[in-house]
């Protein structure tokens, strides 16, 4: 088992910022998977009736939950934007070094802007509770 060939350890590569975008794609994917479970929990609360929904929404209004929701939002949005970049690469386009760096910058800016926009609209949809930090 130990004699099998291994691909080079990550440490042998010179650091480039496109590497961190690739690693971030995996991290945000893992975080989005947890966010998906939270989404299902919210759907179940909605199906369980008004009392369950109200208590779920009050849990989501706590400062810790809001912080997590911001993280999940960024994770979904980044994974969405960078996922489009990966799908374009799958067609064989945009793989040159300069193109990959440029599309990486576009993805980071788009992800930050879309995250901010989503949070702003979410605060409006959440109602007055969302504006203060305390529930």
Given the rule CB under 8 A, which residues bind another protein? 26, 29-30, 32-33, 36-37, 39-40, 43-44, 46-47, 50, 53-54, 57, 76, 80, 83-84, 86-87, 90, 118, 121-122, 124-127, 129
Q: Give the residue with the Cβ less far from another protein, 59 or 97.
A: 59
Residue 58: C-alpha distances to residues 34, 66, 91, 112, 122 (Å): 19, 11, 45, 27, 15
Q: Give the residue with the Cβ less far from another protein, 55 or 99.
A: 55
CB of 87 to another protein, least distance (A): 6
In this structure, are residues 119 and 73 in contact, taking their beta carbons and an 8 Å threshold?
Answer: yes
CB of 15 to another protein, least distance (A): 20
Q: Give the residue with the Cβ less far from another protein, 16 or 46.
A: 46
Q: Give the residue with the Cβ less far from another protein, 27 or 109.
A: 27
CB of 99 to another protein, least distance (A): 20
CB of 98 to another protein, least distance (A): 25
How far is 113 from 96, CA to CA, in rounded Å?
A: 26
């Amino acid at each position: 088992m130990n004699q099998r060939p291994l691909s080079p350890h990550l440490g042998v590569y010179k650091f480039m910022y496109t590497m961190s975008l690739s690693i971030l794609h995996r991290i945000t994917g893992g975080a989005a998977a947890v966010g998906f479970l939270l989404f299902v929990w919210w759907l179940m609360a909605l199906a369980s009736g008004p009392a369950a929904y109200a208590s779920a929404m009050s849990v989501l209004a706590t400062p810790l939950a809001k912080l997590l929701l911001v993280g999940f939002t960024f994770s979904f949005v980044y994974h969405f934007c960078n996922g489009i970049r990966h799908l374009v690469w799958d067609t064989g386009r945009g793989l040159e070094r300069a193109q990959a760096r440029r599309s990486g910058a576009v993805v980071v800016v788009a992800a930050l802007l879309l995250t901010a926009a989503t949070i702003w609209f979410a605060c409006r949809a959440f109602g007055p509770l969302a504006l203060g930090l305390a529930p």
